Amino acid sequence: MRVAVVGMPDSAERDKLVLLLHGIRRAGHTPLLVDADLFASGAVRLDGPAIRDAAPVRLPPLTGRHRTVAGLVERLSVDGITGAARSPGEAIGVDAVWPEALDIGRRLAFEGLYRQIAAAPVRSPAGSWESVLATMFKHRMRRLVGPGVRHAVVTARDDAEAARQAVSRGDVWVKAPDDTHGHGVHHLSPGEPAVPAVRKALRRTPDGELCLIEEDIRGLLADPGGRPHRADLAVTVLDGRILQATLRVQPDLAAPTNSRHGGDSLPVAVGSLPVAVREMAIGALAATHCRYGSADILGSVPGDSGFTVVDPVPPAVGEVNKMPGGRSPGFLDQVVMPLVEAVVSASR
């Protein structure tokens, strides 16, 4: 089976791109790499079960990094991959199309691709364009998913301080609606002004320019040495089945848990999570109409990580990600390989 992976070799998602290409080949199928910019520019299109106006070429080796289940970082290289060149060529037949290696900060440029996938007789975990919007913009996700977090949608015309006080008199987060990797979030302690953070977080969306102010749900966990950490769970789901759960911990209590902010990720056995938490994650993906993705669960849920609860806080859905990051321990074996199997074996 030939599987077209849409991505950008020079983007922040390069590691995940390499994992997908490797996983497809490891499962005995043929990967084809299509540069996402070809779709964004209209140079190629998905026309039925084929990529049209694309000339196949042999690509140089691609190298990425991933973490094993044990947490060790390994380098992975794929060679002999066929790619779609930027010059027009004949149609390349494909059986499945994956847009999972797109640069997630540029998703709005690929509406046409998602709509083509939805209309084409090919297999894909992509889902609808509406599901992309529901997960890309946090205010839209909040309309669909519960139990949620107390929050306010704020525009430049609103009284940011009043909105902040209405959400919480304690710590809050000011978030860009399309934030990725924690780059557009700002933590505010009581007494810190909200207006400067709101100005930084405002972004244009299909619903106008806005940002969010959310309560800080801080379920503290302690490591084996007793040191407190902020923590949340990233739970990856496919077709209503949990593939992987990862505990993300951060010793800086005023920083996001993302690895780019110094957070760490620990594998957690799915069976060690409370049933209510598992159902919450699965329900969040269903509410946003995503076949595949991950739900970030806030609160005090250590699973079998070895961390213990310091501050018990009920779980709540933090956000839903349509394209989970590939840096969690065991992502290749626990997520990529089951995803390959599910996509190539599914009927359209």
44 in the same domain as 10: yes
Rg (Cα) of the chain, in Å, rounded?
Answer: 21
In terms of domains, do 273 and 308 share one?
A: yes
> Do residues 244 and 275 share a domain?
yes
The first and second tokens of residue 59, run together, are 């690509």
Query: Does residue 236 share a domain with residue 204?
Result: no
Percent of the chain with pLDDT over 90: 81
95 lies in the same domain as 159:
no
Same domain, 113 and 165: no
For the cut 80, the answer to whether the pLDDT of residue 3 exceeds it is yes
Q: Rounded to the nearest 5°, which phi and psi values hold at 136?
A: -70, -35
CATH number (domain holding residue 297): 3.30.470.20
**Residue 317 lies inside a defined structural domain of this protein:** yes
Peptide bond connecting 49 to the previous residue in cis, omega within 30 degrees of 0: no
User: Mean pLDDT, the chain, as a whole number?
Assistant: 93
62-66, 301-305, 325-329 — which is least confidently predicted?
325-329
Q: Are residues 7 and 119 in the same domain?
A: yes
- Looking at residue 186, which CATH number applies to its domain? 3.30.1490
Query: Domain boundary at 161, 188, 215, which?
Result: 215
Query: Does one domain contain both 155 and 101?
Result: no
Does residue 95 share a domain with residue 6? Answer: yes
- Token code pair at residue 290: 């995503």
- Give the pLDDT score at 325: 80
Counting Cα atoms < 13 Å in the Cβ hemisphere of 206 gives 11
Average of pLDDT values for 18-36? 96
Please check the confidence at residue 146 and state whether its pLDDT lies above 90.
no
306 and 271 belong to one structural domain:
yes
Q: Let me know if residue 209 belongs to a domain.
A: yes
Indicate whether 145 belongs to any domain: no
Average confidence (pLDDT) over 131-159: 94
- Mean of pLDDT values over 77-88: 90
d(Cα 40, Cα 82) in Å, to the nearest integer?
A: 20
Cα–Cα distance list, 342 to 5, 109, 208, 327, 346 (Å): 15, 27, 38, 21, 6
CATH of the domain at 29: 3.40.50
Give pLDDT, residue 347.
55
Average pLDDT over residues 255-284: 94
Q: Which of 192, 215, 238 is at the close of a domain?
A: 215
Domain containing 156 equals 150-215
- How far is it, in rounded angstroms, from Cα 244 to Cα 267? 8
pLDDT given for residue 245 in this prediction: 97
Looking at the structure, tell me whether residues 194 and 247 fall in a common domain: no
Structural domain includes residue 211? yes
Which pLDDT value is given to residue 215? 97
The tens digit of pLDDT for each residue in 168-225 reads 999 999 999 998 877 899 999 999 999 999 999 999 999 999 999 999 998 899 999 9
Residue 89 region by backbone torsions, left for phi larger than 0, else alpha for psi between -120 and 50, else beta? beta
For residue 346, what are the CA distances in angstroms to 95, 122, 289? 11, 10, 18
- Residue that terminates a domain, selected from 215, 240, 270: 215
Query: Are 235 and 244 in contact, with CB atoms under 8 Å apart?
Result: yes
User: Three-state DSSP class for 207?
Assistant: coil
Residue 170 located in a structural domain: yes
Provide the domain count of the chain: 3
* Predicted local distance difference test score (pLDDT) of residue 226: 97
In a domain, 191, yes or no: yes
